[in-house]
């Protein structure tokens, strides 16, 4: 079986070019494929390989105090879902291009998967406010599945989200808004940006959809979750559907 991991961490990396070189050296001799993005604001990675090789890399990464507590979402597949290994230096580990959305200074307030499941069942939050689930992903991802009744936009990339949200923000003022995405990285930046823009009623779903599937299952979610590899989309058991691998 192939172990697949997805993880990110926002943390200041003063010399990202040097860290890229160190990561590449650490990967030598390990049979891993996937993508690792590194920027001054942190790391974002999707890797797959033999469990021993994945754990060896994670042991190396967590030896750095900055990444000692990085949280990984894990799933298994029968075959390797990535064609090759890429380690890239980027200006952001997820491109958003908004100055007031940096998680380095602070994290956006979050809601845990179990609490969100309870809110979905209630149809409101614990204070009785109506609940709006805000999908921060693009239109292609949404077609594979999303939370029932979620607000989503016909956007093609994450940088299009601010303009889309601006058009509906007044309709959200009386609600508790929970932003969500695949693994948490986009909804973290989105929630920070919305709060900076004066939307104090916004939370992020901790761990994103994959974290929700892992902790709660598929309650309240319709369809599958698009992922960025050849598995294409995962069900609520974190498994690709039969025949789901891309050709």
Structure tokens at 234: 């995962």
Residue 242 near residue 218, CB atoms below 8 Å = no
Burial per residue of 200-228, b for 16 or more beta-carbon CB atoms within 10 angstroms, e otherwise: ebbbbbbbbbbbbbbebebbbbebbbbbe
Catalytic residue among 72, 181, 187, 225: 181
* Sign of the four-CA dihedral 41, 113, 36, 61: positive
- β partners of residue 4: 48, 75
Helices (H), the chain: 16-27, 51-62, 113-122, 139-144, 161-166, 185-196, 208-215
Q: Is 181 part of the annotated catalytic residue set?
A: yes
- Active site residues per annotation: 181
């Amino acid at each position: 079986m192939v172990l697949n991991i997805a993880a990110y961490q926002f943390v200041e990396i003063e010399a990202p070019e040097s860290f890229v070189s160190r990561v590449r050296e650490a990967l030598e001799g390990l049979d891993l494929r996937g993508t690792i993005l590194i920027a001054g604001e942190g790391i974002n990675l999707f890797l797959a390989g033999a469990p021993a090789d994945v754990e060896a890399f994670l042991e190396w990464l967590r030896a750095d105090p900055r990444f000692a507590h990085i949280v990984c979402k894990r799933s298994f597949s029968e075959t390797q879902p990535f064609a090759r290994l890429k380690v890239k230096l980027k200006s952001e580990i997820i491109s958003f291009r908004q100055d007031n959305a940096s998680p380095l200074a602070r994290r956006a307030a979050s809601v845990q998967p179990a609490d969100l499941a309870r809110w979905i069942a209630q149809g409101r939050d614990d204070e009785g406010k109506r609940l709006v689930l805000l999908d921060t992903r693009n239109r292609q991802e949404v077609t594979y599945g999303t939370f029932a009744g979620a607000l989503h936009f016909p956007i093609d990339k994450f940088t299009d989200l601010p303009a889309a949200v601006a058009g509906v923000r007044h309709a959200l003022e009386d609600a508790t808004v929970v932003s969500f995405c695949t693994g948490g990285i986009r909804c973290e930046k989105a929630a920070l940006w919305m709060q900076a823009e004066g939307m104090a009623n916004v939370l992020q779903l901790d761990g994103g959809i994959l974290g929700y599937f892992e902790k709660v299952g598929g309650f309240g979610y319709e369809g599958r979750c698009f992922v960025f590899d050849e598995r294409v989309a995962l069900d609520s058991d974190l498994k690709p559907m039969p025949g789901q691998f891309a050709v």
